[in-house]
Amino acid sequence: MSASLFFCLKCLMADEIEGWVRSVLAISDPHWRAQIMVWIMGSQLLLDEKPEQPSNLEGKEPDVEWELSYRLTGNYTGRFKQPIALIPFIPNANKLAFRAALRKYLTDSELLEWRKSIETIDYLALEALPIAEGIESVINTAL
């Protein structure tokens, strides 16, 4: 799931992000909601204003890495002679659009509804909700 979400966040045009986020957040399954909340928390590093790379996710918690993501270090040119200008993994315009869409569609009242649905499944409440503690501040942090 993480690779798919990052792929969309990286490859969509900035003006397509809001519709994509709306559709991702429209899925009402508690398992899905728990995974999205955990992913948002684990993705903070790549969603901040600094041009971080998937390789920087290695060993971080919660784990949102995907297979071989540690090899994505910012050189997406195919050239390996120095000097190499590193390219941000997620375009800044996409980060801004993503955060704006999260603020628009994942409001405090919506998050409360999400938490209530997650709490209906004991193991999700025990595993996902503690990780998602503080998600409001992550969503409301501006770039």
pLDDT the model gives residue 58: 85
> Which tens digit of pLDDT belongs to each residue from 39-68?
999 998 888 877 688 888 888 888 888 888
What's the rounded Cα separation, in Å, for the pair 116 and 30? Answer: 9
Looking at residue 67, what is its pLDDT? 84
- The closest alpha carbon to 87, from 98, 97, 71, 76, belongs to 76
Q: Name the residue ranges covered by the structural domains of the chain.
A: 2-140
pLDDT reading at 69 higher than 90: no
- Residue 72 to residue 80: CA distance in whole angstroms: 13
Q: Nearest 5°: phi and psi at 89?
A: -65, -45
Contact yes or no for 95/49 (Cβ under 8 A): yes
pLDDT digits (tens, 9 = 90+) for 18-28: 999 999 999 99
Confidence of residue 75 (pLDDT cuts 50, 70, 90): confident
Q: Which residues contact 4 (CB under 8 A, 6 or more apart)?
A: none
